[in-house]
């Protein structure tokens, strides 16, 4: 039955995450934006332990999370979204710096074998996809993997690897044979201290400063044969090729709503601060007058709230579909596109509406606007999401709609 | 109040079946006649009577008053409005305007008032009825009305002017919202042929298939029974905004559905225009914003169904739907290029109709 309110169980997750975000993240938000480069902030160590303690362990319990009726589930995906928004309301950079919550962890949990989950699931796993010559076009990765006896040998350059400095292991995308395109791209788990993998640099960024973004170099980096995620076979028919790469891309159907939730948290924080600042000036958008009879500032606030709420519901929907095993590729991209762009628009508008206070480091508004920018870029840019949505709606292949 | 239900977007089996039949009706019996009705400025003879078979007006009326006695359900109504709006906004608005009055009576009328008025709307044929709320002012605010009602010995006397009223003097019942001296907005049932009431046809940019009137009330007397006892203007306005927003969702879905085959077939520079990102992204954004519109409407409607506060949610749905309806409407025309501007295609008509989304107040209480 149609119901767009969260059940009590989710409200508890929301409350707990909010508590954490407001007591741990917010107070140190500006401090670490300034510090930028450092080891994992000490405050996050205990957070990581707490998260590990409440996280449902591996497989058990997952299928027990039933909804009240007709088997509809509000499970791990929706829980993740609800928690993510709250944490990022606190600070998105700090959230991304919590040990053990990397994108690599998501990949291991999504496609890893039970042994891999056991061995790497509890570590802090980063993901290295982007290369100097391959960004959105992730099928163009040229880092190579070659089997030599019982070991894979990796060679190549990786950039923009979130947590690449502080992580315990990196899930590295590499090709078994560049001439075979997408089908030959596989991912490999490389321990951070593995010989042959070196840290080249940690980037200086516009926002998201406390989250380390690393460039890594792989030079004859040898890892055990068992460290490949998924099958080592290179599909040779068109259908099998699609399926193989599709498996890799499927991870994104689960992670894109999570990234959308980051945008929601950051934007909501900006909007709340803005409302508070404006209310001191007597601006209160309290829904008492029609839009036509509202002031320009009130109308802006209403429009931002409408966009933000809509983006949130779209994100919930994508997660709900994943929890109920419905294919959600289109919805995952839709929510990422909507949340990413309204996140950018809202945070920047908040800076504008608050004038000098918005631009000042006295408040967090300018930081939230800087942090928000990357959310419409990583995990698939706005344009990539539109491309995916368009292909799905129009029934076009990636060859037809490039 | 709301039980502890999971977040869920799935339809019940009953909703699925209802939607199927409404969608079929919209496709077969609304869409094909919409353009002719727009040009003629009126629905084809017999059209409104044919909508009675859908049972939408009879469903919520209690059995003792001649209906089916189904529970009041704004969420179910939103789905129905969306489906008929997919056929045509003007015709759907005409067909459903009486449902708006019925819902208002169910929510705001006493038992005696329901007994007096509901049976008249529970007929086998179509009974025109409408809510008359809007007035002709740029800064119109539903809570600040210039139409006045004054209590006198055995009832009330109404004076003023209401605009964009479907059916006008042909309406069996008009629910007129007027400022009652001393106590603010109140709702009065004004019956057909009331002395002092006159209607003048009024044409608009869109909604042309709907018969719309400016209705004047010159010292119109109604009995005391005709003032709805439990009237709540906010609720009327909020639920109507949802009804109108749901019409927009249906029509914007029509824009998307109609555009997809066109851009896939229409060729330029040797390939379908859909293969160009500037076209494809426009389609993607229609899809994205349509989803945004729909979910905001559904959230507010499901809250209303469950008895939760929904004023803020309805307000936001209205704001987003009014903006995005315009954006989607104009982009629909743009995707078709010159053809979008030609009246052989429905795009320009949809755009003109969608313009009403940010204007209408009180017109379709779900």
Q: Are B85 and B77 in contact (CB under 8 A)?
A: no
pLDDT number for residue A314: 98
B278 interaction partners in chain A (CB closer than 8 Å): none
CB contacts, 8 Å: B255 with chain A:
none
For residue B171, count CB atoms less than 10 angstroms from its CB and return exposed for 0-12, middle for 13-18, buried for 19 or more: buried
Nearest CA of chain B to the CA of A224: how many Å?
43
Reading chain A (402 residues) residue by residue, the pLDDT tens digits are 999 999 999 999 999 999 999 999 999 999 999 999 999 999 999 898 888 777 655 444 444 444 444 588 999 999 999 999 999 999 999 999 999 888 898 889 888 999 999 999 889 999 999 999 888 887 789 999 999 999 999 999 999 999 999 999 999 999 999 998 888 999 999 999 999 999 999 999 999 999 999 999 999 999 999 999 988 888 777 777 666 666 666 767 888 999 999 999 999 999 999 999 999 999 989 999 999 999 999 999 999 999 999 999 999 999 999 999 999 999 999 999 999 999 999 999 999 999 999 999 999 999 999 999 999 999 899 999 999 999 999 999 999 999
A36 contacts chain B (CB < 8 A): no
Residues 6+ apart with CB under 8 A from A162: A96, A102, A103, A126, A127, A211, A212, A213, A378
* Cα gap B18→A257, rounded to integer Å: 31
Which phi and psi angles does B81 have, rounded to 5°? -65, -45
Is the Cβ–Cβ distance between A61 and A46 less than 8 Å?
Answer: no
- Say what angle helices A76-96 and A238-279 make with each other, to 10 degrees: 70
Q: Looking at A86, A298, A331, A379, which residue is catalytic? A: A379
| Best to test chain A binding among B252, B277, B284 (most A CBs inside 10 Å) | B284
Output the pLDDT for position A57: 52
* Contacts of A231 by beta carbon, 8 Å cutoff, 6+ apart: A244
* Nearest CA among B34, B100, B33, B47 for reference residue B244: B100
Tell me the chain A residues in contact with residue B141 when contact means C-beta distances shorter than 8 Å. 289-290, 293
pLDDT at A59: 44
Strand pairing report for A228-229 and B155-166: unpaired
Residue B232 has pLDDT above 90, yes or no: yes
Q: What does the DSSP 8-state code read for residue B65?
A: G
Question: Whose CA is closest to B70, among B98, B104, B106?
Answer: B106
Interface of B with A in 89-128 (CB under 8 A): none
- Which among A72, A57, A74, A71 has a CA at the least distance from the CA of A10? A74
Cα distances from A52 to residues A46, A121, B48, in angstroms, run 10, 11, 62
In A54-73, the residues whose Cβ lies within 8 Å of chain B are 67-70, 72-73
Residue pair B205/B90 in contact (Cβ under 8 Å)? The answer is no
pLDDT for the residue A56: 58
Q: Does residue B114 have a pLDDT over 50?
A: yes
Closest CA to A321 of B297, B295, B13: B295
| Separation of alpha carbons A198 and A218, rounded Å | 7
Of A261, A298, A211, A273, the C-alpha closest to A375 is A261
Q: Quick check: pTM over 0.80?
A: yes
- Alpha-carbon A155 to chain mean position: 26
Say if the Cβ atoms of B284 and A287 lie within 8 Å: no
Q: Which of B325, B273, B124, B32 is nearest to A390 (CA)?
A: B273
A-B Cβ pairs (cutoff 8 Å, strict): 172
Task: State whether the Cα torsion B66-B67-B70-B72 is positive or negative.
Answer: negative
Angle subtended at Cα B248 by Cα B246 and Cα B251, rounded to the nearest 5 degrees: 115
CB contact under 8 Å between A393 and B284, yes or no, is yes
Q: Are B48 and B128 in contact, with CB atoms under 8 Å apart? A: yes
What are the backbone dihedrals phi and psi of residue A5, each rounded to the nearest 5 degrees, phi first? -95, 150
Radius of gyration of chain A measured on its C-alpha atoms: 21
Per-residue model confidence as pLDDT tens digits over B310-347: 999 999 999 999 999 999 999 999 999 999 999 999 99
pLDDT tens profile B14-61: 999 999 999 999 999 999 999 999 999 999 999 999 999 999 999 999
pLDDT at residue B210 in the model = 97
Question: pLDDT tens for residues B201-218?
Answer: 999 999 999 999 999 999
Q: What angle do CA B298, B303, B306 make, to 5 degrees?
A: 125
Q: How many Å lie between the alpha carbon of A389 and the closest alpha carbon of chain B?
A: 5
Query: How many Å apart are CA B239 and CA B216, to the nearest integer?
Result: 25
CA distance A103 to A121: 11
Mean pLDDT score across all residues of chain B: 97
| Residues 366 through 395 of chain A touching chain B, CB cutoff 8 Å | 383, 386-387, 389-391, 393-395
Question: Under an 8 A CB cutoff, do A78 and B7 touch?
Answer: yes
Per-residue pLDDT tens over the stretch A173-196: 999 999 988 889 999 999 999 999
pLDDT in tens, B241-290: 999 999 999 999 999 999 999 999 999 999 999 999 999 999 999 999 99
* Residue among B5, B284, B315 minimizing CB distance to A68: B5
* Closest CA of chain B from A231, distance in Å: 34
The answer to whether A179 faces chain B, any CB pair under 8 Å, is: no
Which pLDDT score, from 0 to 100, does residue B271 have? 97
Q: A147: Cβ–Cβ under 8 A, 6 or more apart, which residues?
A: A153, A225, A232
pLDDT tens across B152-195, in order?
Answer: 989 999 999 999 999 999 999 999 999 999 899 999 999 999 99
Mark yes or no for CB contact A10/B7 under 8 Å: yes
β-bridge pairing B173-180 and B148-152: parallel
Distance CA A384, CA A249 (A): 13
Q: Is the dihedral of CA A301, A302, A303, A305 positive or negative?
A: positive
- A151 counts as catalytic: no
- Contact: B323, A310; criterion CB under 8 Å: no
Contact call for residues B211 and B42 (beta carbons, < 8 A): yes
Q: Which residues of A177-214 are buried (b: 16+ CB within 10 A; e: fewer)?
A: eeeeebbbbbbbbbbbebeebeeeebbebebbbbbbbb
pLDDT at A58: 47
pLDDT in tens, A130-152: 999 888 887 789 999 999 999 99
Q: Nearest-5° angle of CA A382, CA A387, CA A392?
A: 130
Burial of B192: CB neighbours in 10 Å, binned 0-12, 13-18, 19+: middle
Please give the Cα distance from B19 to A34 (Å, whole number): 56
């Amino acid at each position: 039955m149609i119901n767009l309110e969260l059940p009590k169980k989710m409200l508890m997750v929301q409350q707990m995450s909010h508590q954490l975000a407001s007591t741990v993240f917010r107070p140190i938000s500006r401090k670490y934006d300034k510090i930028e480069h450092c080891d994992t902030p000490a405050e996050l160590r205990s957070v990581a332990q707490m998260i590990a303690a409440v996280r449902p362990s591996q497989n058990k319990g997952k299928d027990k999370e039933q909804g009240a009726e007709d088997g509809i589930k509000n499970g791990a995906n929706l829980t993740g979204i609800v928690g993510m928004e709250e944490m990022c309301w606190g600070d998105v950079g700090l959230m991304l710096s919590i040990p053990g919550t990397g994108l690599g962890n998501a990949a291991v949990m999504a496609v890893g074998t039970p042994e891999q989950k056991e061995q790497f699931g509890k570590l802090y796993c980063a993901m290295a996809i982007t290369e100097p010559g391959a960004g959105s076009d992730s099928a163009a990765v040229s880092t190579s993997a070659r089997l030599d006896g019982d070991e894979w040998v990796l060679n190549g350059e990786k950039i923009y690897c979130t947590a690449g400095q502080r992580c315990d292991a990196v899930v590295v995308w590499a090709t078994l044979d560049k001439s075979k395109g997408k089908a030959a791209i596989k991912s490999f788990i490389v321990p951070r201290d593995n010989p042959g993998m070196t840290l080249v640099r940690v980037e200086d960024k516009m926002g998201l400063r406390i989250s380390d973004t690393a460039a890594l170099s792989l030079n004859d980096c040898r890892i055990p044969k068992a460290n490949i995620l998924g099958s080592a076979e290179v599909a040779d028919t068109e259908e099998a090729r699609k399926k193989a790469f599709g498996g890799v891309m499927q991870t994104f159907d689960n992670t894109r709503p999570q990234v959308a939730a980051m945008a929601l948290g950051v934007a909501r924080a900006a909007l709340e601060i803005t409302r508070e600042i404006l209310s001191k000036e007597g601006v209160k958008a309290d829904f008492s007058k029609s839009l036509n009879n509202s002031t320009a500032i009130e109308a802006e606030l209403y429009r931002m709230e409408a966009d933000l709420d809509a983006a949130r519901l779209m994100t919930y929907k994508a997660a709900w579909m994943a929890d109920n095993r419905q294919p959600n590729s289109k919805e995952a991209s839709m929510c990422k596109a909507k949340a990413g762009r309204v996140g950018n628009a809202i945070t920047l508008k908040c800076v504008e509406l608050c004038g000098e206070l918005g631009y000042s480091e006295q408040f967090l508004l300018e930081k939230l606007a800087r942090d928000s920018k990357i959310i419409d870029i990583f995990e698939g840019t706005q344009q990539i999401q539109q491309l995916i949505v368009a292909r799905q709606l129009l029934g076009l292949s990636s060859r037809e709609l490039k | 109040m709301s039980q502890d239900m999971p977040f869920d977007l799935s339809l019940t089996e009953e909703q699925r079946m209802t939607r199927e039949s409404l969608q079929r009706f919209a496709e077969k019996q609304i869409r094909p006649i919409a353009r002719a009705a727009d040009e003629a400025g009126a629905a084809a003879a017999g059209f409104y009577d044919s909508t009675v078979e859908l049972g939408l007006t009879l469903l919520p009326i209690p059995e003792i008053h001649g209906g089916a006695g189904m529970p009041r359900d704004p969420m179910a109504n939103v789905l129905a409005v969306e489906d008929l709006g997919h056929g045509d906004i003007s015709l759907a608005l005409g067909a459903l305007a009486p449902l708006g009055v019925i819902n208002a009576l169910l929510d705001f009328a006493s038992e005696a008032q329901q007994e007096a008025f509901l049976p008249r709307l529970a007929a086998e044929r179509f009974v025109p009825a409408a809510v008359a709320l809007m007035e002709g002012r740029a800064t119109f605010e539903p809570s600040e009305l210039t139409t006045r009602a004054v209590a006198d010995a055995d009832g009330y006397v109404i004076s003023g002017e209401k605009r964009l009223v479907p059916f006008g003097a042909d309406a069996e019942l008009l629910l007129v919202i007027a400022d009652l001296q001393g106590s603010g907005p109140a709702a009065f049932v004004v019956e057909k042929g009331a002395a002092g009431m006159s209607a003048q046809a009024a044409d608009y940019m869109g909604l042309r298939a709907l018969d719309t009137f400016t209705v004047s009330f010159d010292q119109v007397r109604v009995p005391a029974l005709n003032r709805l006892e439990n009237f709540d203007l906010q609720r009327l306005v909020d639920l109507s905004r949802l009804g109108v927003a749901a019409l927009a969702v249906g029509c914007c879905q029509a824009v998307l559905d109609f555009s997809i085959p066109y851009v896939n077939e229409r060729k330029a520079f040797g390939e379908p225009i859909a293969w160009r990102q500037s076209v494809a992204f426009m389609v993607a954004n229609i899809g994205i914003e349509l989803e945004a519109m729909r979910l905001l409407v559904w959230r507010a409607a499901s809250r209303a169904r469950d008895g939760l506060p929904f004023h803020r949610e309805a307000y936001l749905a209205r704001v987003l739907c009014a903006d995005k309806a315009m954006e989607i409407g104009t982009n629909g025309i743009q995707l078709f290029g010159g053809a979008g501007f030609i009246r052989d295609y429905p795009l320009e008509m949809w755009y003109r109709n969608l313009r009403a989304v940010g204007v209408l107040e009180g017109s379709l209480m779900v």
